[in-house]
Amino acid sequence: MAKTPLNWQDAFPETVRMLSGNGVLLNSLGSDGTPNTMTIGWATFGVIWGRPMAIVFVRPSRHTYGLMAQTPDFTINVLPDTMSSDLAFCGERSGRDVDKFAERGLTLVAGKEVKTPAIEQAAIVFECRTLHRNDLVPAEVDPAVVERYYPEGDFHRCYFGEILACYGNLS
User: Which member of 98, 108, 109, 136 binds its own copies (CB under 8 A)?
Assistant: 136
Instruction: State in angstroms the smallest separation of the CB of 53 from its own copies.
Output: 6
- Binders of its own copies in range 54-83 (CB under 8 A): 54-55, 57
- Residue 130 CA to residue 105 CA, distance in Å, equals 27
Contacts with its own copies by CB under 8 A: the residue count is 34
Distance, in Å, from the CA atom of 21 to the CA atom of 134, rounded to the nearest integer, reads 26
Question: Is residue 131 involved in binding its own copies (CB under 8 A)?
Answer: yes
CB 120: neighbour CB atoms within 10 A? 13
Binding mask 147-166 for its own copies (x = CB under 8 A): -xx--------x--------
Please give the C-alpha separations between residue 18 and each of 25, 38, 83, 111, in angstroms, as whole numbers: 10, 14, 11, 22
Question: What DSSP assignment string belongs to 52-75?
Answer: EEEEEEE-TTSHHHHHHHHSSEEE
User: Are the C-beta atoms of 126 and 76 separated by less than 8 Å?
Assistant: yes
Cα angle at 60 between 148 and 45, to 5 degrees?
Answer: 75
Between the alpha carbon of residue 1 and those of residues 13, 36, 77, 107, 170, the distances in Å are 20, 21, 13, 11, 12
Among 32, 97, 142, 152, the residue binding its own copies under the rule CB under 8 A is: 142
The window from 26-34, 38-46, 77-85, 92-100 that contacts its own copies (CB under 8 A) reads 38-46
Identify which of residues 108 and 164 has a Cβ nearer to its own copies in the complex: 164
1, 34, 47, 88: residue in contact with its own copies (rule CB under 8 A): 47
| Candidate segments 16-24, 60-68, 79-87, 99-107, binder of its own copies by CB under 8 A | 16-24
Judged by beta carbon, residue 45 or residue 101, the one nearer its own copies is: 45
Point out which residues bind its own copies (CB under 8 A): 9, 12-13, 16, 19-20, 41-50, 53-55, 57, 131-137, 140-142, 145, 148-149, 158
